[in-house]
């Protein structure tokens, strides 16, 4: 069954179809790339819409409420109603705001969130670009999402936003380092940074069993990178109203929101690829397993958000630098020693 419905087969069918209408081989390749880009954008937008609804339902169920259940069957069209409402809102710009920086910040936040999707292995040979520096590309591009927060915070001409922007930079930069080190353990085990080789190396045993500490460190740092509770003091609603996003309304705020959910999908996909075996799995096609595992990780992140209170800024910095960084370093050392002993005995 995996052979018939895998994405590779679907791509082959599409390619044959196009080959019949288009004369040139390169034109067919170009059209396939456009279809791939379209598919990825569709996944991102669909995800944002679905995740908004899922977040509200999960949070409601955990608080013994029902969540949205009026708009559409069981409330599924709630996100559509929200988008329409946001598009109809008045666009206000604060006086004294630095116009171009203020307007560019949401867009610059959305672009890295979308650009990392090219290296995700949705299925066997179904990656848009199987770069040989796959995971390194992800780390580099996702580090770019620090700057738009600072831009938004500074350009809004608002003290709350500035404090929020400063906190964001401190938080996101401090948690990049342990995240990279936790990923380093995986790269050492596989010997390559290519995403498809990482998934292929997990055919027998998933890396979560070989690198449990790295998994824990990754999950914690990923929560900090995407600014979700318990690390959401950037937009800590009860302290700073909304941090860097305070002055954004309507569609601009919707872009921030979408970028946040795209980021959530991105880190869940990376966690699935690195630790949970990617698209490996019996009976079902690869992409079904991929999305099931990604869904499980997303539920885990939502579970964290609705259970835990927020950390204070100094506790957050202390935790990142004094607890997670040494833990990640120790993991790298232990992995190295373990690999040497394994190679020595086999």
Give the footprint of another protein on this chain (CB under 8 A).
58-66, 69, 159-160, 163, 229-230, 232-233, 236-241, 303-304, 306-315
Q: Are 294 and 265 in contact (CB under 8 A)?
A: yes
Question: How far is Cα 78 from Cα 57, in angstroms, rounded to an integer?
Answer: 11
Work out how close the CB of 300 gets to another protein at its nearest, in angstroms, rounded to a whole number.
9
Q: 227-239: b or e for each residue (b if 16 or more CB lie within 10 Å)?
A: bbbbbbbbbbeee
- 85 vs 159, which CB is nearer to another protein? 159
Closest CA to 182 of 144, 146, 210, 221: 221
Tokens of 273: 């690829």
Query: Could you give the dihedral angle defined by the CA atoms of residues 149, 151, 153 and 158, in that order, rounded to the nearest 10 degrees?
Result: -160
Q: Are 206 and 286 in contact (CB under 8 A)?
A: no
Residue 210: cis peptide before it, omega within 30 degrees of 0:
no
Work out how close the CB of 292 gets to another protein at its nearest, in angstroms, rounded to a whole number.
18
Q: Are 158 and 194 in contact (CB under 8 A)?
A: no
Work out how close the CB of 86 gets to another protein at its nearest, in angstroms, rounded to a whole number.
21
Question: How far is Cα 42 from Cα 226, in angstroms, rounded to an integer?
Answer: 21
Q: Are 236 and 230 in contact (CB under 8 A)?
A: no
* CA distances for 249 relative to 1, 79, 89, angstroms: 48, 17, 7
Tokens of 279: 């698209």
- 85 vs 312, which CB is nearer to another protein? 312
Furthest-apart CA pair in the chain: how many Å? 69
- 313 vs 329, which CB is nearer to another protein? 313
Closest CA to 89 of 251, 254, 256: 251
In terms of Cβ atoms closer than 10 Å to its own Cβ (0-12, 13-18, 19+), residue 94 is middle
- 13 vs 323, which CB is nearer to another protein? 323
- 151 vs 233, which CB is nearer to another protein? 233
- 59 vs 197, which CB is nearer to another protein? 59
- 89 vs 312, which CB is nearer to another protein? 312
- 8 vs 160, which CB is nearer to another protein? 160
Work out how close the CB of 62 gets to another protein at its nearest, in angstroms, rounded to a whole number.
5
Q: What is the CA radius of gyration of the chain?
A: 21
Work out how close the CB of 318 gets to another protein at its nearest, in angstroms, rounded to a whole number.
10
Work out how close the CB of 230 gets to another protein at its nearest, in angstroms, rounded to a whole number.
6
Work out how close the CB of 225 gets to another protein at its nearest, in angstroms, rounded to a whole number.
18
Work out how close the CB of 23 gets to another protein at its nearest, in angstroms, rounded to a whole number.
57
- 33 vs 315, which CB is nearer to another protein? 315
Question: How far is Cα 45 from Cα 241, in angstroms, rounded to an integer?
Answer: 27
Work out how close the CB of 83 gets to another protein at its nearest, in angstroms, rounded to a whole number.
24
């Amino acid at each position: 069954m995996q052979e018939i419905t895998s994405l590779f087969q679907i791509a082959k069918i599409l390619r044959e179809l196009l080959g019949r209408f288009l004369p040139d081989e390169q034109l067919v390749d170009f059209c396939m790339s456009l279809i791939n880009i379209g598919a990825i954008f569709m996944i991102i937008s669909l995800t944002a819409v679905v995740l908004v609804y899922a977040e509200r339902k999960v949070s409601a169920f955990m608080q013994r409420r029902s969540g949205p259940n009026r708009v559409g069957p069981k409330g599924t069209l709630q996100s559509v109603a929200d988008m329409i409402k946001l598009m109809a809102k008045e666009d206000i710009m604060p006086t004294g705001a630095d116009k171009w920086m203020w307007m560019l910040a949401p867009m610059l936040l959305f672009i890295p969130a979308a650009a990392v999707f090219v290296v995700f292995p949705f299925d066997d040979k179904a990656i848009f670009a199987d770069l040989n520096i796959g995971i390194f590309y992800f780390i580099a591009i996702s580090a770019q999402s620090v700057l738009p927060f600072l831009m938004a915070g500074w350009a809004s001409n608002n003290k709350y936003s500035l404090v929020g922007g400063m906190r964001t930079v401190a938080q996101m930069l401090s948690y990049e380092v342990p995240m990279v080190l936790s990923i380093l353990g995986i790269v050492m085990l596989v010997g390559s940074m290519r995403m498809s080789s990482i998934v292929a190396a997990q055919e027998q045993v998933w890396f979560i069993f070989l690198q449990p500490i790295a998994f824990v460190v990754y999950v914690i740092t990923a929560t900090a990178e995407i600014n979700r509770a318990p690390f959401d003091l950037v937009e800590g609603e009860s302290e700073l109203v909304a941090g860097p996003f305070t002055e954004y309304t309507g569609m601009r705020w919707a872009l921030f929101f979408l970028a946040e959910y795209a980021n959530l999908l991105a880190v869940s996909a990376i966690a699935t690829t690195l630790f949970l075996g990617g698209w490996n799995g019996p009976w079902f096609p690869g992409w079904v397993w991929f999305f099931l595992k990604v869904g499980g990780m997303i539920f885990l992140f939502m579970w964290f958000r609705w259970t835990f209170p927020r950390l204070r800024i100094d506790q957050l910095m202390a935790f990142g630098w004094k607890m997670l960084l040494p833990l990640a370093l120790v993991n790298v050392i232990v992995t190295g020693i373990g690999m040497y002993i394994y190679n020595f005995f086999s």
